[in-house]
Amino acid sequence: MQIKTRVTLWYTLLTALLLLGSLLFIYYIFKKYNENEFYRNLQSRAVMAVFMFEKTNPDLKIKSGFSNQSNLLPKGENFIVYTLKGEKLFSLHPLSNIPSDILKKALNEKDFRFQWNDFNYIATRYITKSGKELIVIAMGQCESAELRWLSRILLLTFFIFILIVSLIGYYFAGKVLSPIRKTMNEMDRITPTDLSKRLKISENKDEIQRLSSTFNQLLDRIEEAFRIQKGFLSNISHEVRNPISSMIAAIQLSLSKERTPEEYKHTLRLALHDAQELQNISFQLMELARLSDSSNQPKLQAVRIDEIVWQAKSAVRKVHSDFYFVFDDSSFPGEEKVLTILGNEALLKVALINLFENACKFSPNHTAHLSIFSSHDNRVCIRITDTAETITEPEKLRIFTPFFRSANATNVQGSGIGLSLVQSILQLHNVTLTIEPNHSKGNIFTVFFHHL
């Protein structure tokens, strides 16, 4: 069922319930008023009847009804006079008798109203001129043509009003939902092959405007994801193809003719280097994919950040013997608890290895300066200073994008995955990384950790 139809039905149902309650209340009030008027008139006629009875029978002797008088009364109407002892003195219809239990209640109560055998009765007290107290019971049928007409008018009004409300509700539901319908039509025109289209934002500050704005933001993220994916596939094919092509070319060249053992060893060293580069790219891609999987988050525990720094430095030196580190221990924290953080040792080691390798790789002298210190807000920090070309502000926004390489890095071997992996690892640990230019030359990478 469409929202337009559902809104119309709910609106009509709610209006019908409110209208029905109002009409029933009107009918009830009028009915009660009509009944009170009927009983007042019946009581007045009963008093008039007993007055005539007293006038024609001053001794209040038992007397049967008069046929000529009973014929003058409305159909079903009768008057009965009792003494306080329950003795019937007079009745216009002699066959009319009141049950004893009802008569007993009528004798004990003043202006007692009751129903019996589809007739309405009222019992009231009357004091004669001689001071004798009598009970007069008047009988009649409470039938009102006005009440019947009122019920018909109210019923007809109800159905006409509901019909009008349904039509108005259906019309206004369509008007209210028309912006959503227009938005849906605009959404249908957006295809995966062209994500540049956007929804029109209305000037009204309403839910539709917020929905369109949110959807446009979602499209921005999807378009950016598609762009990154296309770039990722293009870059990864390029990065993987280069070492493979290099290995194939070296092997083909070696097989083209007989070579000396030294030439074969040189070819194998080149192939090994390309294979190691390919292995490094594959490892970084797998780590990046694993960190992107929210259902497979690594376990965090208490670790010493200074020990991870030494391990990462040793791992870099083991692979790159021409990389050097200068460690400044002048501000090294003295307390062990300051150096203890909550993290995953293997992932943090991977992140620091990438930062250390980049600092040495892009520095002309292949040297990085390291220091560990406490910040003013009691966070333990690792500062990595290089002597490479200063990273510009626009590049700072893009260097963490997979496969992005700045103009200054074209002559330096790399895949462009390292810093994006570093960012994923640091975000997992809720760690902040800042990049600032060095006063003389180079860049300062500072990593801020929260200690336990």
Print the domain residue range for 68.
Answer: 3-147
pLDDT higher than threshold 80 for residue 278: no
Choose the weakest-confidence range: 72-86, 258-272, 293-307, 330-344.
Answer: 72-86
Given pLDDT bands bounded at 50, 70 and 90, which one contains residue 411? low
Q: What is the pTM of this model?
A: 0.49
Query: If you ran DSSP here, which 8-state letter would residue 399 be given?
Result: T
Query: What does the pLDDT read at residue 285?
Result: 66
- Among 28-32, 352-356, 370-374, 394-398, where is mean pLDDT lowest? 394-398
What is the pLDDT at residue 67? 42
pLDDT band at 17 (very low <50, low <70, confident <90, very high): very high
Domain membership of residue 170 (yes or no) is no
The angle subtended at Cα 114 by Cα 133 and Cα 48, nearest 5°, is 45
Q: Contact 89/115 with Cβ under 8 angstroms?
A: no
Burial class (CB in 10 A: 0-12, 13-18, 19+), 224: exposed
Same-domain check for residues 323 and 253: no
In a shared domain, residues 20 and 134: yes
Between 132 and 382, where is the model more confident? 382
- pLDDT for position 173: 82
> Residue 17 sits in a domain of what CATH number?
3.30.450
- Which residues have a Cβ under 8 Å from the Cβ of 372 and sit 6 or more positions away? 305, 306, 309, 329, 331, 332, 333, 339, 380, 381, 382, 383
The strand pairing partners of 365, in sequence order, are none
**pLDDT (0 to 100) of residue 103:** 79
259 part of a folded domain: yes
- Which stretch of 120-134, 163-177, 316-330, 347-361 has the lowest confidence by average pLDDT? 120-134
Of 147, 180, 198, the last residue of a domain is 147
Across residues 413-426, what is the average pLDDT? 76
- Say which residue, 134 or 237, is predicted with more confidence: 134
Per cent of the chain over pLDDT 70 is 85
User: How many whole angstroms separate alpha carbon 435 and alpha carbon 390?
Assistant: 10
**Domain boundary at 269, 292, 315, which?**
292
User: pLDDT confidence of 320, banded at 50, 70, 90?
Assistant: confident
Query: pLDDT value at position 86?
Result: 75
**Which tens digits make up the pLDDT trace of 295-307?**
567 788 999 999 9
Number of folded domains in the chain?
Answer: 3
Residues 375, 433 share a domain: yes
Domain membership of residue 158 (yes or no) is no
> 6-10, 81-85, 299-303: which range is least confident on average?
81-85
Residue 386 has pLDDT above 70, yes or no: yes
Does residue 185 lie within any of the structural domains? no
Residue 137 in domain = yes
Domain boundary among 258, 292, 326: 292
Place of tokens 């290099």: 246
DSSP state of 295: T
267 and 250 in a common domain: yes
383 occurs within a structural domain: yes
Q: How confident is the model at residue 239 (pLDDT cuts 50, 70, 90)?
A: low
Q: Answer with the residue of higher pLDDT: 227 or 263.
A: 263
Residue 70 has pLDDT above 80, yes or no: no
Q: Does 17 lie in the same domain as 81?
A: yes
Mean pLDDT rounded to a whole number for the chain: 80
Position 203 scores a pLDDT of: 74
How far apart (Å, rounded) are the C-alpha atoms in residues 22 and 259? 107
* 192 falls within a domain: no
Domain assignment present for residue 180? The answer is no
Q: What is the pLDDT of residue 208?
A: 77
The residue ranking higher by pLDDT, 316 or 111, is 316
Question: pLDDT tens digit string along 195-225?
Answer: 777 777 777 777 778 888 888 888 888 877 7
89 & 212 share domain: no
Q: Are residues 279 and 343 in the same domain?
A: no
Between the two ends of the chain, the Cα-to-Cα distance in Å is 56
According to DSSP, the β-strands at 324-328 and 367-374 are: parallel
